[in-house]
Amino acid sequence: MTRCIGLCIPLLWAVPAFGAEPPVIAVVGVHQPGVHLETQSKVSKSLATAVERTKRAAALEGDALGPTIAGRQQIILEEALLASGRKLLAEGQNLYNQAQPEAALPVLEEAIDALEAGVVLSGELRDLWDAQLALGTAHMALGDTGAASSSFRRAVALNPARSPDPALYPPDVTALFDDVRAASRTQTSAIAVASAEPLDVWVDGASVGKTPTTVKDVLPGVHYVRAHAPERTASARVEVGDEPVNVVLEATEPTLGAGAGSSALRGRETTALYRALGRHSEGVDFVLLAGTEEALLHLQLYDVARDTFSIPTSIPYTGEAEDEALQTLPLLLNLLTPEGELPANATQASAVPLDRGVNPQLASLLMEPIQPFVAKPRRGGRTAVLVGIGVGVLAASGAGIGIAASSGGPRYHGTVVVGPL
């Protein structure tokens, strides 16, 4: 018994080291036009090193980030890219349910535009199908059967097996939808997809093999394609009619699509992106946002546990944004308390307005397959090794193993046409 006590006391003495662990900050590239993937990786390493030099936090970047989101990339993409469209869809549906179909039309059209921007990359079509159905239903309420048929045709092209719920939609809507679907099935075409290099191709969220490939029995309407090779992607949208279509895809560095035109909308996009990323990252306390907008460099932290953003550190920059970011980063981290937290008076509800489409490292993280390996912060912030002095007690904890979950999309049953955006 005496020997057991002698072994345990040093271990208990070492336990408070867990409470002294620094917070872990994920570094996910810089949003800046013209900065390519290789350079992005170097910048991220420099920023991670700068984080650790402050001794206020540990850093995760590069390959170590993959296991923190393994198996959840698709969820992150959907939440990040479809958030604004889903909100607009709900607003449009509410207006229709309040007997305001005319007011619902522009909101639903805006929802479709927002959802299309995310569908190409996420492959999730259910919300867009709902939006097309809602738009057609609003047109019918206003007596425009032709416009309703056009919207229903687009819904059928996305998923010909799905039907409006008769408990939610009136008989004239379900009847016209069935007629449009029957007509679409008699007007099929074909699509041939080619590329200079072999690419894995998904159409409307489903795998169709490698290029070159030909898809037959294409239904009329709009279809979406995503293609992938290591560190290279391509995406396309096209509307098909009666004639076969030949499409050549050109893969480039990964991107999350073009950012919105206005600063306010870009802010919403960035907020949704980093909330989704933080919410589904294991072992990460903060995510670093870094990027440029016009002549300003912005640095900001997303607090995962509190679902809030720090007050940004924004400065004018000239020359290389990396140099300014490395010098400014300690000022941002000075917001953290000795306990590694953001005080309430240093927070705000939203992110700075960065362009989500100009961060190829973040896009690659979300779109590349992830290989399983042991992940730990660069300085070991989440992997603690405790040594009981004098008795040889050794304990290790917090070593996380990331397992990649690879899942193919649903089997492709429908038709598709792809073309350049």
Q: Are 388 and 394 contacting, i.e. CB atoms less than 8 angstroms apart? A: yes
Looking at residue 75, the DSSP 8-state letter turns out to be: H
- Residue 138's pLDDT is what? 97
Q: Which two tokens stand for residue 333?
A: 């981290």
For 5-19, what is each residue's pLDDT tens digit? Answer: 333 333 333 333 334
pLDDT of 356-383, one tens digit each? 999 999 999 998 765 444 444 444 444 3
Report the pLDDT value the prediction gives residue 369, as an integer from 0 to 100.
65
pLDDT of res. 370: 53
* CA atoms of 155 and 173, how far apart (whole Å): 13
Q: What is the mean pLDDT of residues 85-102?
A: 96
Whole-model pTM: value is 0.76
Q: How confident is the model at residue 236 (pLDDT cuts 50, 70, 90)?
A: confident
Distances (CA, A) of 169 to 96, 134, 140, 389, 397: 12, 10, 11, 73, 56
Q: Is 144 exposed, middle or buried (0-12, 13-18, 19+ CB in 10 A)?
A: middle
Q: Say how many C-beta atoms besides its own lie within 10 A of residue 30's C-beta.
A: 26
Please give the helix or strand (H or E) that residue 314 lies within, else none: strand 313-316
Q: Specify the range with the lowest mean pLDDT, choosing from 102-106, 160-164, 378-382.
A: 378-382
Report for 2-16, 119-133, 196-210, 242-256: range of highest mean pLDDT: 119-133
Tell me the average pLDDT across 159-177.
94
Q: What is the pLDDT of residue 152?
A: 97
Residue 115 above 50 pLDDT? yes
Q: Do residues 273 and 30 touch, judged by C-beta distance below 8 A?
A: no
**Chain-wide mean pLDDT for the chain?**
82
Reply yes or no on whether the pLDDT at 23 is more than 80: yes
Beta strands in 188-293 (DSSP E): 189-195, 200-203, 206-210, 213-218, 221-229, 232-240, 245-249, 286-293
- 372-408 burial code (b ≥16 CB/10 A, e <16): eeebbbbbebbbbebebeeeebeeeeeeeebeeeeee
- Kindly give the residue spans of alpha helices, DSSP state H, lying in 280-351: 321-333
pLDDT the model gives residue 34: 86
- Has residue 105 got a pLDDT over 70? yes
Q: In sequence order, what are the beta bridge partners of 214?
A: 192
pLDDT computed for residue 226 by the predictor? 85
138 versus 393: the higher-pLDDT residue is: 138
CA 354, 274, 319: angle at the middle one, nearest 5? 35
Q: Where are the domains of the chain?
A: 2-69+260-354+370-402, 73-184
Average pLDDT over residues 50-59: 93
- Predicted confidence (pLDDT) at residue 145 exceeds the cutoff of 80: yes
pLDDT > 70: what percent of the chain? 83
pLDDT at 408 (0 to 100): 34
Banded pLDDT at 399 (limits 50, 70, 90) = very low
pLDDT digit string (tens) for 182-226?
A: 999 999 888 888 999 999 988 888 888 899 988 888 888 888 888
Hey, CA dihedral for 65, 69, 71, 75, is it positive or negative? Answer: negative
**Diameter of the chain measured on Cα atoms:** 89
pLDDT digit string (tens) for 287-335? 999 999 888 999 999 999 999 999 999 998 877 788 888 889 999 999 9
State yes or no: pLDDT of 255 exceeds 60.
yes
Query: In terms of pLDDT, which residue wins out, 226 or 90?
Result: 90
Residue-level pLDDT at 300: 97
Specify the pLDDT at position 238.
82
